[in-house]
A and B are shown apart, each in its own frame.
Chain A
Amino acid sequence: MVENRPFLTFCSHFLVLLGIVIIAFPLWMTFVASTHDQVTMLRAPVPLWPGEHMLENYRTVLFEGFGTGAARTPLYVALLNSSIMALGVCVGKIAISIIAAYAVVYFRFPLRMFFFWMIFVTLMLPVEVRIVPTYQVVASLGMLDSYGGLIVPLIASATATFLFRQFFLSVPDELAEAARIDGAGPLRFFKDILLPMSRTSIAALFVIQFIYGWNQYLWPLLITTKEDFYTVVMTLSRQVNTVDAAPHWNWIMAMALLAMLPPVLVVVFMQRQFVRGLVETEK
């Protein structure tokens, strides 16, 4: 602030607060809807204030499920699947990227740059532009309806490799020199020195990749046909699009809240790592 202009300061506060309220409005309505019974949620206008059926709604959605036939899988199964997928994508991505970056930075070997560019050119081909062939590859490997099929195709990541490469290049050469003089081999140096030093980068990537993995939609939609492997985001979308005489908005919105809660909590509570990860992976 360079000068004191009370009116402008007031305007700033007012506009930001207005923005927050508008942005949060859908979330509030979701929460309110998940606390009423079905009948209330079918009469327009729906209430703007929470009701008294919160606990039973969440219990129904989580442990009993609703809908007809196979759609009636309790949501905790899908939440578990989403967690496995998100964590798998996170850990897998970070693990294979960090060792690939280590090889590219700390070793000289034939085809080094070729490998580096091969990883690098795939940077920007989102799964959406090559869905049919990728599906066929996964199908021919027998990985449809499996956690492997959900996770492995998503763990190749040029961004993570690039991030670790940049970080390793900034690590002082003296450290590697000292480790070599002390007789540490490459694996020892990696485990005892490089890995602990990369902690903050790993944490930042973890937050970003957790959100990425949890929020995957098209990919699980394609390769899963059994409810046992449905993720929570696609379960929600399927329930919304089920044509029903009287939709259970209270249960659907409880589901929506559960579907967004884990990544939102991660962002809110790990904000520093989140911002860091966002800025670093996009550089």
Chain B
Amino acid sequence: MNKRVTFDGRLLPYLLVAPQIAVTLAFFIWPSGQTLWQSMILEDAFGGNTRFVGFANFAKLLSDDGYWDSVRLTMFFSFMVTLCGLGLSLLLATMADRIVRGATAYKAFLVWPYAVAPAVAGVLFGFIFNPAVGIVAWFLNKGVGYEFNYVINGQQALALVIIAACWNQISYNFLFFLAGLQFIPRSLIEAAAIDGAGPGRRFWTIIFPLLAPTAFFLLVVNIIYAFFGTFGVVDAMTKGGPAKATEILVFKVYNDGFRGQDFGGSAAQSAILMLIVVAFTVVQFRFIERRIQY
């Protein structure tokens, strides 16, 4: 799509795009190229000598059991975050859509967690589930009799990270689901109601299929969030522990690269993550093109 009316100028357009291009080159394209290059070189411990090793870093990484543990963990984590986040927000949005009186006030109270930084969310949940003083942990230990200590129990730590990540993302999903619900023509729902379909039946046969595009879009966004956006939650709450029980891929890249100083291995991990992002982006764009068509 092009404009019919344009302005003339030889130098001006280049000056206008220059800042954006400069920042993009310096902080996106060059580092991405560097990542690919570093993933193929080996640096000795003192940073002096580098040597080209081809795909040796990748081979080493892919034969490392620790890496595959982290891959499996990340898949499970993303699955749970996406499933819980989408399920709960769909429930809330469906209920909120039914409410006529006070709808705006309800919405205001549901959207604010989006504004909370993932790291702050990690701190909040770390506090209320803290084994020593956390109120929920206390209730679980004393009230229910369930032994809860996420600092030493890996499964509980993982569950807690999932809960905090969901909490952080729920308002985003809620807003998109609510917008999707309000976009559905009322006449369709009224027609179904006149034909005698109850609320449950209307939901599954009309509303849910019509929400599918929104749900698919949110699915991709949530998976990307679970893969990359949750670094803050993990770092502020568990630091990947206990015993690597919450070491998801994005945390491992950071940990191996900056703590472990294993630049080659970290770069190889980054390269793989980039591939995953690009794959998701392609899926998302194909979907967006489809959505624009109708």
Chain A bound to chain B: yes
Residues of chain A whose beta carbon lies under 8 Å from any beta carbon of chain B = 1-3, 5, 8-9, 11-13, 15-17, 19-20, 23-27, 29-30, 33, 41-46, 48, 95-97, 99-100, 102-109, 112, 115, 118-119, 122-126, 128-134, 136-138, 141, 152-153, 155-156, 161, 168-169, 173, 176-177, 180, 185-187, 189, 211, 214-218, 221-222, 233-234, 236-237, 240-241, 249, 252-253, 256, 259-260, 263-264, 266-268, 271, 274-275, 278-279, 282-283
Asked whether any CB of chain A lies closer than 8 Å to the CB of B21, the reply is yes
Q: Please determine whether A107 and B24 come into contact, CB atoms closer than 8 angstroms.
A: no
Q: Are B9 and A107 in contact (CB under 8 A)?
A: yes
With a 10 A CB-CB cut-off, give which of B3, B139, B273, B280 has the most chain A CB atoms.
B3
Give, as a whole number of angstroms, the nearest-CB distance from A159 to chain B.
12
Q: Which of B111, B171, B253 has the most CB of A within 10 A?
A: B111
> Footprint of A on B, CB under 8 Å?
1, 3-7, 9-10, 12-14, 16-17, 19-21, 23-24, 26-32, 34-35, 38, 88, 91-92, 95-96, 98-100, 106-128, 132-135, 138-139, 142, 167, 170-172, 175-176, 179, 186, 189-190, 193, 199, 217, 221, 224, 228-229, 231-232, 235-236, 239, 250, 253-254, 257-258, 263, 266-267, 270, 273-274, 277-278, 280-281, 288
In angstroms, Cα B178 to Cα A271, docked, is 14
CA distance A60 to B182 in the complex (A): 47
Contact B179–A279 (Cβ < 8 Å)? yes
- CB <8 Å contact, B3 and A45: no
Residue in A118, A133, A283 with the greatest tally of chain B CB atoms within 10 Å: A133
A185 to B228, CA, bound (A): 44
**Contact indicator B23/A266 (Cβ below 8 Å):** no
Report yes or no: A26 in contact with B124, Cβ–Cβ below 8 A. Answer: yes
B interface SS class: helix
- Taking CB as reference atom, which chain B residue is nearest A97? B20
For the complex, give the distance between the alpha carbons of A274 and B252 in Å. 33
Q: Known contacts A45-B138, A217-B232, A233-B120; is A137 also within 8 Å of B30 by CB?
A: yes
A–B Cβ pairs within 8 angstroms, 8 of them: A15-B92, A16-B99, A20-B106, A124-B224, A132-B258, A173-B3, A236-B120, A283-B288
CB B8 to nearest CB in A, in angstroms, measures 8
Whether A173 touches B5, Cβ cut-off 8 Å, given contacts A11-B95, A115-B21, A152-B27, is yes
Report Cα–Cα, A233/B91, bound state, in Å: 31
Known: A29-B124, A42-B132, A99-B16. 16 other contacts (CB 8 A): A104-B17, A105-B3, A107-B7, A118-B21, A125-B32, A129-B228, A129-B250, A132-B267, A133-B38, A173-B4, A177-B5, A216-B117, A218-B235, A237-B122, A240-B236, A267-B115
- Other-chain contact of B20, A25, A119, A263 (Cβ < 8 Å): A119
Contact (Cβ within 8 A) B95 A129 = no
- Taking CB atoms, residues of chain B closer than 8 Å to A234 are 119
- Give which listed residue, A11, A108, A233, contacts B117 with CB less than 8 A: A233
Q: Which of B10, B116, B134, B288 is close to A260, meaning CB atoms less than 8 Å apart?
A: B116
Residues of A within 8 A of B281 (CB): 123-124
A260 to B: closest C-beta gap in Å = 5
CB closest chain-B residue, reference A261: B115
- The docked-state distance in angstroms from the alpha carbon of A153 to that of B27 is 6
What are the 6 closest A-B residue pairs judged by CB atoms, nearest first? A215-B117, A133-B34, A103-B16, A133-B31, A263-B115, A107-B13
Contacts of A132 in B (CB 8 A): 35, 38, 257-258, 263, 266-267, 270
Interface of A (DSSP majority class): helix
In the complex formed, the residue of B with least CB distance to A175 is B5
Which residues of A sit under 8 angstroms from B176, Cβ to Cβ? 278-279, 282
By a CB distance below 8 angstroms, the chain A residues around B277 are: 124-126, 129
Residue from the list B10, B19, B100, B113 in contact with A1, Cβ < 8 A = B100
Complex CA distance for A126 and B277, rounded to whole angstroms: 9
From residue A6, how far is it (CB to closest CB) to chain B in Å? 12
Q: Are B23 and A155 in contact (CB under 8 A)?
A: yes
For the complex, give the distance between the alpha carbons of A282 and B278 in Å: 16
B133 touches A42 (CB 8 A): yes
A176:B250 contact, CB within 8 angstroms: no
Give the residue of A2, A274, A283 whose beta carbon is less than 8 angstroms from that of B189.
A2
CB proximity of B114 to chain A, nearest CB, Å:
6
Chain B residues near A237 (CB, 8 Å)? 119, 122-123, 232, 235-236
CA distance A236 to B5 in the complex (A): 52
Judge whether A278 and B175 touch: CB under 8 Å.
Answer: yes
A19-B110, A23-B113, A118-B24 known; A125+B274 contact, CB < 8 A: yes
Q: Are A133 and B99 in contact, with the CB atoms below 8 A?
A: no
Q: Is the CB of B27 within 8 A of A156?
A: yes
